[in-house]
Amino acid sequence: MNPKANVYDDYATEYAASYAGRSQYGNPADPLGTLPCMLDLLGDVAGLRVLDAGCGEGYVARTLAFLGATVTGVDISARLIDIARERDPDGLIDFRVADLSQSLAGYERHFDAAASRLVLNDVADYQGFIATLATVLKPGGRLVVAMNNPYSYVVRKHVPDYFDSGTAFPYRGMAMEGIKVHFYQRTLQEYLDAFLGQRFQLTKLVDLATIVNNSHAPHLDTLLPEGYRFPYFMTMSFVKS
Distance CA 170, CA 158 (A): 9
Residue of higher predicted confidence among 35 and 6: 35
pLDDT in tens, 77-111: 999 999 999 999 999 999 999 999 999 999 999 99
Rounded CA separation 24/28 (Å): 9
Question: Does residue 175 have a pLDDT over 70?
Answer: no
What are the structural domains of the chain? 7-148+187-216+231-240 (3.40.50.150)
Q: What are phi and psi of 206, to 5 degrees?
A: -115, 120
Q: What is the pLDDT of residues 8-56, one digit of tens each?
A: 888 788 888 877 766 555 566 687 889 999 999 999 999 999 999 999 9
Helical axes 126-136 vs 188-197, angle rounded to 10°: 30
Mean pLDDT over the full length of the chain: 87
The verdict on pTM exceeding 0.95 is no
Q: Percent of the chain having pLDDT more than 90?
A: 62
